[in-house]
Structure 1
Amino acid sequence: MNTTSELIKLITLKKIGDNLYEGESSYMGSPNVFGGQVVSQALHAAYQTVPNDRFCHSLHSYFILPGNLELPIHYEVTILRDGGSFTTRSVTARQNGEAIFMMACSFQLEQEGLEHQIPMPNVTSPDQLISWSEIANQFGTMLPKQIQKFVSAERPLEFKPVEIPNPFEKKDYDPISNVWMKFNDLEDDYSLPILHQLIAYSSDYNVLSTALMPHASKAHFGNTQLASLDHSIWFHRKPNINDWLLLHVESPSASNTRGFNKGSIFNLSGELICSLTQEGLMRPIQR
């Protein structure tokens, strides 16, 4: 899968019952189902049960068990409330009848009100940076096997990291990362629900690894078990995905084998599209 059309096809679920949907999975460089895929598919399922004039403003989710790439995922939507301005849903994803993921999400009528936002960080522009695919082509054989496998996998997005830590250099870094990302082979226009689902898919990349950066002298993908535990998104403005988007992530804390991260996604023009948080497992692997 390497185009946006293929991604939308993956996110779009099959209805198999009342408020019940089924989805398949795609390999993204990990032996387990990619978390962003489950978040975006669950959001798609919830969107099927709300009025067309309401759009998601926030979602909060928990990853309960690793997903099996070979099994279908069933998404069950529970209708919690339909209010005058807000609509609330919950979604549970299951494989073999066992819950692997749960999400609560809220939808709102479009309304005008006060506005402000933080400025976009001043970072190197994407045209001056190299992408994951270029890193894999130039340095693939020099990279640790796990990193090489991950960056070489086919994806519907291209990534250009602003900071590229040297995996062979025993050095700690500030708990901050910036990555430009862009969807491949875009069409002319997408509805707001599809835009939200695409952003939800992309929002699980390049987040948890930020919490590793202050420990890079001793911790890396090869000796640390990493897994997303929870994931939340707040949608602020209609995304413009026709050009590069900047994901800015900070990790305020890591403790008790968990790393906490908060991020912001900006349009190339500097508009803040959404905010996100993620806590993930960072457990040293005992040899």
Structure 2
Amino acid sequence: MTLNEATPAERLVDLLGLERIELDIFRGQSPDESLQRVFGGQVAGQALVAAGRTTEGDRPVHSLHAYFLRPGKPGIPIVYQVERVRDGRSFTTRRVVAVQQGRTIFHLTASFHQPETGIEHQLAMPAVPDPEDLPKLADEIRARLGVLPEPLERMARRQAFDIRYVDRLRWDVQELQGAEPRSGVWMRAIGSLGDDPLVHTCALTYASDMTLLDAVRIPVEPLWGQRGFDMASLDHAMWFHRPFRADEWFLYEQESPIATGARGLARGQIYDRSGQLIVSVMQEGLFRHLGPRRNA
């Protein structure tokens, strides 16, 4: 089977399948796509794979904290250097530095926890339509425009996740009147990701960066169409609460409590189909009015 014949999920698994070049050094591929920078979720997912491959025993990741330091260049491999910070009785800690062409582009610290029992509670999942009752993102855009623009058609063919927005997309500024900084999407990988729990965790880490900053933009500009802002992820944090499969439907509820000083903060809660809260996410993004480009 060639790469072109692979399913989107198989291509994602292949992307997360790092090459081990030393005991604690890994190399990940970066697709040569027509993007200004490497997708941040890809770097975060690959870095978490590198961290996870240096741990032993049944200790799933429970949290990660990361900084996007420089934009990565598409088509150029990324090297992930892992530092074994701590191997304790209950917790394991790893620090990962992502390097591309001799420059550090990303830092990640991940903590792994031996499963234990303790107190149990969670907030209820919001009442939203089922994913089967919502259009696929590509179909919604196609219905509005009459045709899917070629760049989006290409992206849709290679997209690893089926994305369905809970609320209809807004297409012009008039539709933004009274819009709150909130967004919700159902997502799942397109095809099976296999049975390795680390792959599912890293695949969801990849997906967590796809739509989270939508919540910041919703009160200001339509999600699809002409952009008025250049935006980039600055940092990213996740807490993994329960086991899950990223190739089964999960609801990603997102909101932005504040945007100021050219930065917008977004937080997300991810629920599985049964209503269990499985992951919490926080991210800050940089939002600059489009104009002459400069380094962050």
**Alignment partners' CA distance in 1, 2:97 and 2:282:** 20
SS in 1 for 2:210: coil
Quick one: which amino acid aligns to residue 159 of structure 2?
R
The Cα shift of 1:135 comes to: 2.2
1:37-116 to 2 correspondence within 5 Å? 37-116=42-121
How many residues are aligned here? 285
So what's the TM-score if we normalise by structure 2?
Answer: 0.89
Say yes or no: does 1:208 pair with 2:221: no
**Alignment partners' CA distance in 2, 1:146 and 1:279:** 30
Q: 1:82 to 1:257 in 2, by over 3 A?
A: same
Contact 2:8 2:158 in 1 (8 A): no
**Alignment partners' CA distance in 1, 2:94 and 2:265:** 26
**Alignment partners' CA distance in 2, 1:96 and 1:27:** 15
Contact 1:29 1:150 in 2 (8 A): no
Contact 1:28 1:34 in 2 (8 A): no
Q: 1:221 to 1:92 in 2, by over 3 A?
A: farther
**Alignment partners' CA distance in 2, 1:24 and 1:86:** 30
Q: 1:160 to 1:85 in 2, by over 3 A?
A: same
SS in 2 for 1:166: coil
Quick one: which amino acid aligns to residue 168 of structure 2?
I
Which of 174, 184, 194 is matched with 2:190 structurally?
184
Contact 1:29 1:151 in 2 (8 A): no
| CA RMSD between the two structures | 2.4
Unaligned runs of 5+ in 1: none
**Alignment partners' CA distance in 2, 1:79 and 1:124:** 44
Aligned to 2:25: 20
**Alignment partners' CA distance in 1, 2:163 and 2:201:** 19
Aligned to 2:201: 196
The Cα shift of 1:242 comes to: 4.7
Unaligned runs of 5+ in 2: 1-5
Quick one: which amino acid aligns to residue 59 of structure 2?
R
SS in 1 for 2:158: coil
So what's the TM-score if we normalise by structure 1?
Answer: 0.91
Contact 1:57 1:106 in 2 (8 A): yes
The Cα shift of 1:184 comes to: 0.9
Aligned to 1:165: 169
Contact 1:78 1:89 in 2 (8 A): yes
SS in 2 for 1:185: coil
The Cα shift of 1:275 comes to: 0.3
Contact 1:29 1:149 in 2 (8 A): no
The Cα shift of 1:168 comes to: 2.1
SS in 2 for 1:124: coil
1:212-231 to 2 correspondence within 5 Å? 212-216=217-221, 222-231=227-236
SS in 2 for 1:121: coil
Say yes or no: does 1:139 pair with 2:144: yes
Say yes or no: does 1:251 pair with 2:256: yes
Quick one: which amino acid aligns to residue 184 of structure 1?
I
The Cα shift of 1:240 comes to: 3.4
The Cα shift of 1:30 comes to: 3.4
The Cα shift of 1:29 comes to: 6.9
Contact 2:19 2:27 in 1 (8 A): yes
**Alignment partners' CA distance in 1, 2:33 and 2:185:** 18
Contact 1:57 1:234 in 2 (8 A): yes
The Cα shift of 1:199 comes to: 1.1
**Alignment partners' CA distance in 2, 1:174 and 1:251:** 9
Q: 1:148 to 1:166 in 2, by over 3 A?
A: farther
Residue-by-residue CA offset, 1:75-117 (whole Å, 9 max, x unaligned): 0001111111111110000111100000011011111111111
Residue-by-residue CA offset, 1:167-213 (whole Å, 9 max, x unaligned): 224324101101001111116x5122122111111111110121011
**Alignment partners' CA distance in 2, 1:24 and 1:167:** 35
Aligned to 2:160: 156
Identity %: 34
